[in-house]
Amino acid sequence: MQKILFIVNPIAGKKAGKNIHQDIIRYLDTDKFKPHFKYSEYSGHISEIAEHGLKENYRAIIAVGGDGTVNETGRILIHSNIPMGIIPIGSGNGLARHLRVPLSVKGAVRLINKMDILQMDAIRINGMYSFCVAGIGFDAEVSRMFQQMKARGLFSYIIACLRCFNQSKNQNFIVRTKQKEHHLNGFMMCFANANQFGNNAYIAPGANVSDGIIDLVLVKKPYYLQIPLFAFKTFTGTLENHSLYNRINGSEFEITQENDFAHLDGEPTKVGTKFTVAIEEKALPVIC
């Protein structure tokens, strides 16, 4: 019998994690796998549980939550031979949606029963990791605002976006690659491993988590009248040809920004005004 560790974030999304273990046990192939459950009690606890789990000879460790839970788990399992699974019960679930992990507990657990593994890339930013999308500018400000809000979920995220929109301006960025230095001006800059932020908001429609490439996306601030078309294109995966949108592909960038913070998979963090962004190819085994 192989042991599987489920790390449940009870505050992710609509707090579906609180009683999720019964559903997981119902659908898990218990002839093959013995489930163990651990519930996170504070921010950072998920990584501590995963680190402990690394030494315990689990067949797989499953992040039960949203992209923050996936990030805290993935940063520990990176470069290990223990695969990470996802049961997506977060607000956005960007990586799970990109990987086509079912959003139902039943579907997600059935995927775990099959145990098919993909070696996915990770984006390293100043020694920290992003598995889905990281960014600076507007979306980093939104992630800071969202973190301070009491309620999570899509509605709170939209409120955070609206509040930040008025305050945020275009800023100057310098992007250095091995070949070139780009002086750019924009509202936000994203570093995409996966194709979306979550909720099917496709910021990098062509991105692929196992192609060894970072999609660096620069977006200029839209005027109010431009927002409906920009939003429509974001949710239909057709942003590429919008006049406010630019993309540079690469495996390593040095970035200079006016602020000193970023978000990594939706979690705000300090990175400084100058930092490096690099791909680590096929670094994390993931069940999908």
Ligand X SMILES: Nc1ncnc2c1ncn2[C@@H]1O[C@H](COP(=O)(O)OP(=O)(O)OP(=O)(O)O)[C@@H](O)[C@H]1O
Give the alpha-carbon dihedral of 107, 38, 140, 158, to 10 degrees: 50
How far, in Å, CA of 244 to CA of 276, rounded? 24
- 28 belongs to the binding site for ligand X (CB under 6 A): no
Q: Of 66, 83, 137, 285, which lies in the binding site for ligand X, with binding defined by CB under 6 A? A: 66
The answer to whether the beta carbons of residues 120 and 282 sit under 8 Å apart is yes
Asked if residue 65 binds ligand X (CB under 6 A), the reply is yes
- How many Cβ atoms sit within 10 Å of the Cβ of residue 196? 24
Task: Assess 116 for contact with ligand X (CB under 6 A).
Answer: no
Cβ atoms of residues 112 and 287 within 8 Å: yes
- Residue number with the smallest Cβ distance to ligand X: 66
Tell me: does residue 17 bind ligand X (CB under 6 A): no
Q: Binding segment for ligand X among 30-38, 39-47, 168-176, 179-187 (CB under 6 A)?
A: 39-47
Strand order in the sheet with 267-270: 245-250, 214-219, 188-192, 133-137, 261-264, 267-270
User: Given the complex with ligand X, which of 42 and 224 has the nearer CB atom?
Assistant: 42
Cβ atoms of 286 and 108 closer than 8 Å: no
Closer by beta carbon to ligand X, 88 or else 250: 88
Applying CB under 6 A, among 53, 74, 83, 92 the residue interacting with ligand X is 92
Distances (CA, A) of 211 to 119, 198, 201, 235, 283: 10, 20, 20, 23, 12
* Residue 51 in contact with ligand X, rule: CB under 6 A: no
**Is position 74 an interface residue for ligand X (rule: CB under 6 A)?**
no
DSSP annotation string for 81-127: SSPEEEEE-SSSBHHHHHTT--SSHHHHHHHHHHT-EEEEEEEEETT
Question: Which of the stretches 90-98, 137-145, 240-248, 270-278 binds ligand X when contact is defined by CB under 6 A?
Answer: 90-98
Quick one: which of 5, 7, 11, 188 contacts ligand X (CB under 6 A)?
11
193 lies in the binding site for ligand X (CB under 6 A): no
Pick the closer one to ligand X by CB: 14 or 169: 14
Task: Give me the residues that bind ligand X (CB under 6 A), please.
Answer: 9-13, 40-43, 45-46, 65-69, 72, 90-93, 152, 198, 266-267
